[in-house]
Amino acid sequence: MKAVIQKRAPQLAALKPEQILEVREFTGSYRDGFRAYLAELADDVEAKTKDGYSLDQSGKIVFERKVEPKLLEEIRQSIPCKIAWWADLLKKSFAIGGNAVTICAAPWSAGNYTKLSENMGDFVKAIAVPLKEKRSNKGQAFQFIGNLPKPRRPMQLP
């Protein structure tokens, strides 16, 4: 965890106690998943210590090789995934609307109701699947890290 804090939010070390409590509250819903994800990486850190690295070095190596690349990929993919999710919801919503219009035109046809039910189920799945992924330990860990205050980069002059 120390490697994560040093790499993603080095300014946390300078925070006052009340500010730390604010960060804890802000990231609280992701903390358990973050801890579980770190526990999954414990064997990798332990293996590095057996290779002669200190615990801090081992944590830093595992973070840089396993967590950071996945985190950066998650960040890069987040906007396209959100766009695709909304597009899929719109598509399924329009399908439901089309089914409703069809039912109004022919309310006695049972097949129309079946199709409406299938489309409503697809709509619910479209919402539930991404939520399941975000609630995984990995998803919670990346949300936790992503919600830490970002390190400030020094201004570069031309």
pLDDT tier at 155, thresholds 50, 70, 90: very low
CA contacts within 13 A on the Cβ side of 144: 24
Instruction: Report domain extents, the chain.
Output: 2-147
pLDDT tens-digit series, residues 82-110: 888 888 888 888 888 888 888 888 888 88
Task: State the pTM of this model.
Answer: 0.52
- Alpha helix locations (H) across 1-158? 2-8, 17-50, 55-62, 68-105, 110-134, 137-147
